[in-house]
Structure 1
Amino acid sequence: MIVNKQLITIKGTREGLTLYIDDSCSFSDMLKELDQVLSTKYTDKDEPMITVTIQLGNRYLHKEQEEELREVIRRKNKLVVQSIESNVILKKQALDWMEDSEIKTITKIVRSGQVLEVTGDLLLVGDVNPGAKIVATGNIFVLGSLRGVAHAGVDGNRDAVIVASYMEPSQLRIADYISRSPDYESEGVSMECGFIDGAKSKIVIDRLQVLSQKRPDLNGFERRILHG
Structure 2
Amino acid sequence: MANVSLRGRSDGYELEIPAESNFAASLTDLKKLLKKVRDQDNSLQEITFSVRTGRRVLTDEQHKQITVAVTSYDKFRLTGITADVLDQPSVVDLLKAQQVFVVPQIIRSGQELFFDGDVVLLGSVHQGAMLKASKNIYVVGVVDGGVLHAGYPDHADAIIAGDVSQAAQIRISDLVAIVADNPDMTAHKFAHVNEKHELVVDPLSDLKKLKPALYTQMEGK
- So what's the TM-score if we normalise by structure 1? 0.47
Question: Which structure's relative contact order is higher, taking Cα pairs within 8 Å and 6+ residues apart?
Answer: 2
Larger Rg belongs to? 1
- So what's the TM-score if we normalise by structure 2? 0.49
